[in-house]
Amino acid sequence: MPTSEQQLRRILIGSDQLSVLPPGELAIEGSRVSDLVSTYGSPLFVMSDTTLRQNVRRIRNAFESEWQAPVNIMYALKCNPNFAVRAVMHEEGAGGDCFGLGELEATFAGGADVDKIALNGSNKSDTVINRAIDLGVYINIDSEAEAIQIERLAGRKQSQVRVNIRLKVIPEEYRTYSSDLINFSGDFRDELRRLKWGVNEQTAVRMINNWASYPHLKLTGYHTHLGRLSQKLEDRVSYDREFALVISRIFSETGFQPSLIDIGGGWPRDRDPESGSQELNRYSIEDYAQGTCRALTDSFMEAKITLPELWLEPGRYIAGNAGILLTRIESIKAEGNFKWVYVDASTNIMPLIGAVVEGTYNFVVSATKMWEQIEDKADVVGPLCIPSVLHADCPLPPVTKGDIIAILDAGMYAESDSNQLNWIPRPATVMVKDNLVGLVRQAETLESIFSTQRLPNWLQETTEFCSMYRNRVLKSSQTHG
């Protein structure tokens, strides 16, 4: 029987900062999980500064060594929106992809260079466009109507705005489509056509031929985003090849030579829970970079298009394994053939995980019993009112109440997608770096999550109870934790 440490070693990847200290306790960048939880509470998100840096450096190197023009790695903030993560990205020279006003402000709160930032979004408000114009970032436009909207707003300010057109990309190879994430029976290209983002080739040609109507817009290139659809290298390459072919056809019709292309995010990682597999990904980011860059370069050379700058918007690749969720065991129950380990975290704070519903496979380790042999299986579940399972049939050593469990790959789409189902306040996040620990997001409290609640006038009779509740119950809940 392997120990939890042996199990962990099997699936460790280069940028993980995990070690095991005596007497068999997991440490993240040298910080013991029990120290972290006793200081900051449980559950607790822990982000590794070093992992973030190593990931962004690796993806940049992978693409820079394959692309013969400048590369801009733009961190997709939606994946993990903490200002501290953005600050690390800024120190590393990364640009950014922002969706909406909140992400735009958060990007600049964490540090950003306007020449490396793009605003995305299918329907952008005047407010966010005005802010983007004032900041001077690029805008990836989603429709003809949006071009008219930006022109009107930029005209009022007498500003020049750099824009890219988001293209729909429909590879012929996607007629039938199945991947680790999607098994689709119809023509998958129709699904892509139906997606709300971007414009098709004909619309893009019309817009470019009519560009004289947008004197305040400077067209710099194109954007597209496939998302994390497939781990298969050939699927990614077909998509990128088709993107280059669309750009080449538009070039031959309009003569427009892009100075940059933004190929979006969705890059699968070495340990890739979305694949549902317990095995590491057989493709590395270097493989994806080589496949993508060669497909794009070949098509551009054929069309006699000068290689534009290459922009990418990775989210999960950078933040995925940088985050770990620590959660304490509250109770254990066994009945018949079943066993449940009840922890204090649930899928409200990691909505994308759950082996049963989502098909993902996030590794879970018994962080305070790393040297004990795995001889048990249990469903790891949380306190929610829904039957969400964090990990079904999780291999574990004999754990007890109070032990800490670590869920790997919790850095992506956990905090940003989390909710307060059952009025559960969301936990804190800390960042660790070489034995240092810093709080980057305070835990919510009942008081902070109830503070937005109001009672309408016609429920006035209950006001007395409310004020009693606010004055007494909340105060005492704060005192007693």
Q: Which of 122, 124, 71, 78 is nearest to 93 (CA)?
A: 71
Contacts of 57 (CB under 8 A, 6+ apart): 92
d(CA 84, CA 430): 9
Nearer to ligand PLP, 110 or 397 (CB): 110
Nearer to ligand PLP, 120 or 230 (CB): 120
The pair of structure tokens assigned to 329 is 């065991």
Query: CB of 366: closest distance to ligand PLP in angstroms?
Result: 29
Nearer to ligand PLP, 207 or 229 (CB): 229
Cis peptide before 215 (omega within 30 of 0): no
Query: CB of 18: closest distance to ligand PLP in angstroms?
Result: 22
Query: CB of 466: closest distance to ligand PLP in angstroms?
Result: 40
d(CA 427, CA 325): 10
d(CA 167, CA 221): 10
Query: CB of 263: closest distance to ligand PLP in angstroms?
Result: 9
Q: List the Cα angle 411/415/320 in 5-degree steps.
A: 15
Query: CB of 95: closest distance to ligand PLP in angstroms?
Result: 12
Query: CB of 475: closest distance to ligand PLP in angstroms?
Result: 41
Query: CB of 435: closest distance to ligand PLP in angstroms?
Result: 29
Nearer to ligand PLP, 79 or 199 (CB): 79
Query: What type of residue sits at position 103?
Result: E
Burial of 309 (C-beta count, 10 Å sphere; 0-12/13-18/19+): middle
Query: CB of 338: closest distance to ligand PLP in angstroms?
Result: 35
Q: How far is CA 85 from CA 47, 146, 419, 440, in A?
A: 8, 30, 20, 9
Burial of 326 (C-beta count, 10 Å sphere; 0-12/13-18/19+): buried
Query: CB of 140: closest distance to ligand PLP in angstroms?
Result: 8
Nearer to ligand PLP, 79 or 341 (CB): 79
Nearer to ligand PLP, 121 or 427 (CB): 121
* Contact set with ligand PLP (CB under 6 A): 76, 78-79, 97, 120, 225, 227-228, 264-267, 313-317
Nearer to ligand PLP, 25 or 97 (CB): 97
Nearer to ligand PLP, 78 or 241 (CB): 78
Query: CB of 164: closest distance to ligand PLP in angstroms?
Result: 12
Query: CB of 53: closest distance to ligand PLP in angstroms?
Result: 17
**E-state strands within 43-107:** 44-48, 71-76, 95-99
Radius of gyration of the chain (CA): 24
Contact 82, 45 (CB under 8 A): no
The pair of structure tokens assigned to 348 is 């409200």
Query: CB of 453: closest distance to ligand PLP in angstroms?
Result: 31
Nearer to ligand PLP, 225 or 241 (CB): 225
The pair of structure tokens assigned to 255 is 């003569």
Nearer to ligand PLP, 204 or 396 (CB): 204
Nearer to ligand PLP, 81 or 264 (CB): 264
Question: Half-sphere exposure of residue 266, counting CA atoms within 13 Å on the CB side?
Answer: 20
Nearer to ligand PLP, 221 or 315 (CB): 315
Contacts of 58 (CB under 8 A, 6+ apart): 14, 15, 285
Contacts of 228 (CB under 8 A, 6+ apart): 181, 265, 266, 267, 268, 274, 316
The pair of structure tokens assigned to 405 is 């469990």
Contact 47, 432 (CB under 8 A): yes
Beta carbons within 10 angstroms of residue 351's beta carbon: 18
Contact 362, 327 (CB under 8 A): no
